[in-house]
């Protein structure tokens, strides 16, 4: 079955760059968009952005200036970089499978999700 396994640094200092990676197994990597979503007590669930196997991205406008997503099709992995982190970026970060690449309607859900990574920002 489809599985997403994520990893990355969980403790950062203010102004550092958050880096997370998610590995996909059990499904064609080129058939979907792949998303990052974060969850914090203050902001709830927040979609960060998505990427497909060609590297085409869509980002949340509120984070766009600090977000970079990348993809490695040879290893079926995709990554998130979020620069200049502050306490406001503390959250559990999830990777998730998104919409099928051929879908042209706005139908877009997330299934499955990775296990989550708690990111703490502290000096």
Binding site for another protein (CB under 8 A): 44-47, 49, 58-62, 94, 96, 99, 105-116
By the 10 Å C-beta count (0-12 exposed, 13-18 middle, 19+ buried), 52 is classed as: buried
CB of 13 to another protein, least distance (A): 26
Of 94, 67, 96, 65, nearest to 80 by C-alpha is 67
Minimum gap (Å) between residue 34 Cβ and another protein: 13
First-to-last alpha carbon distance for the chain, in angstroms, is 40
In whole angstroms, the minimum distance from the beta carbon of 74 to another protein comes to: 26
Between 32 and 99, whose beta carbon lies closer to another protein?
99
| Angstrom distance (rounded) from CA 117 to CA 93 | 5
Q: Which is nearer to another protein, 68 or 115 (CB)?
A: 115
Task: Tell me whether residue 16 or residue 113 sits nearer to another protein (CB atom).
Answer: 113
């Amino acid at each position: 079955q489809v599985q997403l396994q994520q990893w990355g640094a969980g403790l950062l200092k203010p102004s550092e760059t958050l880096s997370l990676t998610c590995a996909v197994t059990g499904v064609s990597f080129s058939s979907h968009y792949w998303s990052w979503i974060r969850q914090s007590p203050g902001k709830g669930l927040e979609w960060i952005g998505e990427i497909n196997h060609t590297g085409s991205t869509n980002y949340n406008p509120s984070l766009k200036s600090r977000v970079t997503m990348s993809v490695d099709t040879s290893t079926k992995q995709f990554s998130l970089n979020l620069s200049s982190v502050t306490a406001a970026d503390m959250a559990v970060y999830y990777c998730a499978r998104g919409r099928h690449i051929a879908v042209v309607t706005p139908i877009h859900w997330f299934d499955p999700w990775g296990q989550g990574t708690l990111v703490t920002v502290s000096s």
